[in-house]
Amino acid sequence: GAVVSQHPSRVICKSGTSVKIECRSLDFQATTMFWYRQFPKQSLMLMATSNEGSKATYEQGVEKDKFLINHASLTLSTLTVTSAHPEDSSFYICSARDLAGGLNEQFFGPGTRLTVL
């Protein structure tokens, strides 16, 4: 199956700093990537959808100025959590799909654990 990686796997930062999380499709071109947030023992909540070369579409209630998403290439999307606070501590997961190549499912990355002190 197709492989999606995330970097870093874990990050700890101080309150007020910004953190960038990378999501890469390793063996396919991801025309669309999704970003999810998962709190402990809870479900995955979709934050935003990003299509390569265009602005991300955010779900209701997600602050676009706080969670900056860039999908500048077909294999890389980044999520930047700006001015992070302890309530932003969560497990962030991306998924990727390739409409053009015919992959008929979304492939999930391994997730990034963010802890804001």
Partner 1 sequence: QQQVKQSPQSLIVQKGGISIINCAYENTAFDYFPWYQQFPGKGPALLIAIRPDVSEKKEGRFTISFNKSAKQFSLHIMDSQPGDSATYFCAASKGGSWGKLQFGAGTQVVVTP
**Interaction between residue 106 and partner 1 (CB under 8 A):** yes
Q: Please state the closest distance from residue 83 (CB atom) to partner 1, in A.
A: 26
Q: Cβ(67)–Cβ(50) under 8 Å? A: no
Phi, psi of 86 (to 5 degrees): -55, -35
Task: Rank residues 4 and 84 by Cβ distance to partner 1 and give the closer one.
Answer: 4
Q: Cα(30)–Cα(75) distance, rounded to whole angstroms?
A: 6
Task: Rank residues 25 and 95 by Cβ distance to partner 1 and give the closer one.
Answer: 95
Q: Cα(94)–Cα(72) distance, rounded to whole angstroms?
A: 15
Taking the CA atoms of 115, 113, 48 and 31 in sequence, report the sign of the dihedral they define. Answer: positive
Show contacts with partner 1 in window 5-24 (CB under 8 A). Answer: 6
**Interaction between residue 54 and partner 1 (CB under 8 A):** no
Which part of the chain contacts partner 1 (CB under 8 A), choosing from 14-22, 45-53, 64-72, 75-83?
45-53
**Interaction between residue 37 and partner 1 (CB under 8 A):** no
Q: How many residues bind partner 1 (CB under 8 A)?
A: 23
Q: Cα(71)–Cα(69) distance, rounded to whole angstroms?
A: 7
